[in-house]
Amino acid sequence: MKNFKWVSRKKTDEVATIYESNITLNKSATSYLEKAFVVLLGIDKEKHLIAIKPIKRGDIELEYIPKDQRHNITIKSSYSRISNKHFIQDISKLKELNFEENNYYKFPAYWSESEQSLIIELNKGEM
């Protein structure tokens, strides 16, 4: 048994799946956003990164964020979803995603302590 590496049945990689109208995050990625009331969506067009910043209910920062920058997030036990078709269209143009050809695209994600945001790496290529 010395040569065996025991693996967990839980997949811990954070994955974002981009559909034509929403971004769906797997359970591991959702764990960083579980307490979010709303989220902010950001895009770095040079580095091809998306940032999802959770904002909690009662957070002082919330009152300073314009309502049109607050995005609803639906959180379930095994995934979360952020719907914003216009944002997805911007991403589609940037990364040339063709939803008529593919129903969805998967990208790796990670938590950034410095940004206090979940970062989706569009530059890593589809998974």
The model's pTM:
0.87
Instruction: Give residue 7's pLDDT band: very low, low, confident or very high (50, 70, 90).
Output: low
> What integer is the mean pLDDT of 93-121?
95
Q: Does the structure show a pLDDT above 60 at 120?
A: yes
3-class DSSP state of 93: helix
Both tokens assigned to 68: 């049109």
Residue of 11 and 120 predicted with greater confidence: 120
Are 104 and 16 spatial neighbours (Cβ–Cβ below 8 Å)?
no
The position carrying tokens 């995603």 is: 97
Q: Does the structure show a pLDDT above 60 at 10?
A: no
Quote the CA–CA distance of 6 and 15 in Å, as a whole number.
23
pLDDT at site 104:
96
Domain boundaries, the chain: 14-124
Are 32 and 75 spatial neighbours (Cβ–Cβ below 8 Å)?
no
